[in-house]
């Protein structure tokens, strides 16, 4: 697996919120060669990150090209896992690593990581001692019996709910939950009572982020549907994201095409004006030459006629 030189999606979101993300300050004397290389690449990634990171203390939401590309990478990785019959079971931004393939890239490549729960085949939402994992856990995976044992095991559709929560956070830089300061019971209760990303939430999202493609918001509504059967498969989500990318790309090209057409029209107008000006100038020159020629001939004829008449008059006088 290649180095992830750009940190995690969670760190990037935090940085785009205006927070400063600190780096591991270990002494280089205690680091192996591989760790030194990884550290160098992380610094490289953070330097590139700052090239499109918003000003400090200012929220700088993902642009559509960033949002779609990063989310497509995540969906691509999840679709691969599901196609092999593997559930991730711990999807969250902290487990999405970022990597810049080239130093001039403006958008990193997202890769899934931390497959510990996947290999185990079961997920314990409180295994880390933090609310981070539970925040992305599907409601059906939190139901317990009177003994406190989970009633349902997680499934591929549980991964799809977690994927929806990642998308939610990528769009709004927040989650729909309150901050309970590691109070699992209250957070658990809120998740169980969450109505999902319903029509009302969809309409509010359109107003809050009108720049986000409506197809992505509709996809978010499907992913965060409480009915497991209504959630799409990873392959379906990937296909929808790729289709949306093409639509957004074409839409973004429309102003450029219009600008190019306007430039062509303007250039044609300038060329036509120059041509007309040149032709008009030529016509004016020809007209001037013609008038001057006629005037010259008229003067010559007039003078000649006068001279001839004078000579004739003088001749007649002498004859008489």
pLDDT in tens, 164-190: 999 999 999 999 998 777 788 899 999
Task: Determine the pLDDT at residue 119.
Answer: 45
CA distance linking residue 251 with residue 10, whole number of Å: 29
Instruction: Kindly give, in sequence order, each residue whose CB lies less than 8 Å from that of residue 121, ignoring residues fewer than 6 positions away.
Output: 87, 89
Domain extent listing, the chain: 9-232, 257-320
pLDDT of 272 higher than 70: no
**Max CA pair span of the chain:** 156
pLDDT of 42 higher than 80: no
Please give the CATH architecture assigned to the domain spanning 9-232: Orthogonal Bundle (1.10)
pLDDT of 295 higher than 70: no
pLDDT of 130 higher than 50: no
Would you say 111 and 73 are in contact if contact means Cβ atoms under 8 Å apart?
A: yes
Whether the predicted model's global pTM rises above the 0.85 cut: no
pLDDT of 251 higher than 50: yes
Q: What is the mean pLDDT of residues 103-130?
A: 64
CA distance linking residue 76 with residue 84, whole number of Å: 13
Q: What is the mean pLDDT of residues 130-156?
A: 76
Q: What is the mean pLDDT of residues 110-128?
A: 62
Instruction: Kindly give, in sequence order, each residue whose CB lies less than 8 Å from that of residue 315, ignoring residues fewer than 6 positions away.
Output: none
CA distance linking residue 2 with residue 4, whole number of Å: 6
């Amino acid at each position: 697996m290649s180095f992830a030189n750009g940190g995690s999606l969670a760190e990037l979101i935090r940085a785009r919120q205006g927070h400063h993300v600190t780096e591991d300050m270990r002494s280089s004397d205690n680091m192996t060669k591989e760790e030194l290389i990884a550290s160098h690449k992380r610094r490289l990634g953070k330097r590139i990150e700052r090239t499109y990171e918003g000003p400090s203390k200012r929220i700088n939401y993902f642009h559509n090209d960033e949002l779609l590309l990063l989310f497509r990478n995540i969906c691509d990785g999840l679709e691969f896992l599901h196609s092999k019959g593997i559930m991730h079971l711990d999807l969250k931004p902290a487990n999405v690593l970022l990597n810049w393939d080239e130093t001039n890239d403006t958008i990193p490549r997202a890769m899934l990581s931390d497959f510990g729960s996947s290999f185990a085949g079961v997920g314990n939402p409180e295994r880390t001692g933090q609310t981070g994992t539970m925040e992305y856990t599907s409601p059906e995976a939190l139901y317990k019996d009177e003994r406190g044992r989970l009633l349902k095991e997680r499934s591929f559709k549980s991964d799809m709910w977690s994927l929806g929560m990642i998308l939610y956070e990528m769009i709004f830089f927040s989650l729909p939950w309150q901050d309970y300061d590691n109070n699992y019971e209250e957070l658990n209760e809120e998740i169980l009572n969450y109505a999902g990303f319903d029509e009302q939430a969809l309409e509010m999202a359109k107003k809050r982020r009108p720049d986000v493609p409506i197809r992505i918001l509709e996809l978010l509504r499907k992913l965060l549907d409480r009915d497991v059967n209504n959630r799409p498969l990873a392959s379906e989500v990937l296909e929808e994201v790729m289709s949306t990318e093409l639509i957004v790309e074409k839409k973004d090209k429309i102003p450029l095409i219009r600008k190019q057409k306007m430039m062509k029209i303007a250039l044609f107008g300038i060329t036509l004006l120059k041509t007309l000006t040149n032709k008009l100038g030529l016509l004016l020159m020809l007209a001037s030459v013609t008038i001057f020629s006629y005037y010259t001939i008229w003067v010559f004829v007039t003078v000649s006629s006068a001279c001839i008449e004078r000579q004739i008059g003088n001749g007649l006088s002498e004859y008489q």
